[in-house]
Amino acid sequence: MESTSNSTNLNIRVDSNLKKDAEDLFKRLGLNLSSAINVFLTQSVREQAIPFEIHEDRPNKKLLKALKEAEKMQKHPEKYKGYHNIDELFEDLLK
């Protein structure tokens, strides 16, 4: 994949935690960071595209269900018990 006579340096800025996490992952996969980036670049050129889907974060089903439940509770507060402070909540929980 990489020829030493035709290689060049690529300098990029990356969050240090992201770099460490990526290095740990790639090590488990038997790659170093440089090899993993070369795999990504090679596959991108081969496919003439980014080799994975890029999209905005979407809420999962569990979160969507919780959001719908919160909307329902907000529309019908008379059906749900509310608390004015944390002490009131804990007092009720400990009954």
In this structure, the answer to whether residues 8 and 43 fall within a common structural domain is yes
In a domain? residue 19: yes
In a domain? residue 55: no
Within 1-95, where are the H helices? 16-28, 33-47, 61-75, 86-93
First to last CA, the chain: 67
In this structure, the answer to whether residues 16 and 40 fall within a common structural domain is yes
**Chain segment 65-74, per-residue pLDDT in tens:** 999 999 999 9
Compute the distance between CA of residue 12 and CA of residue 9 in angstroms, rounded to an integer.
10
pTM over 0.75? The answer is no
Residues comprising the chain, all counted: 95
In a domain? residue 67: yes
Number of domains forming the structure of the chain: 2
Structural domain that includes position 9 = 4-47
In a domain? residue 54: no
In this structure, the answer to whether residues 33 and 67 fall within a common structural domain is no
**Chain segment 15-58, per-residue pLDDT in tens:** 999 999 999 999 999 999 999 999 999 999 999 999 998 888 88
In the block, tokens 């959001």 appear at 67
In a domain? residue 53: no
Compute the distance between CA of residue 15 and CA of residue 69 in angstroms, rounded to an integer.
37
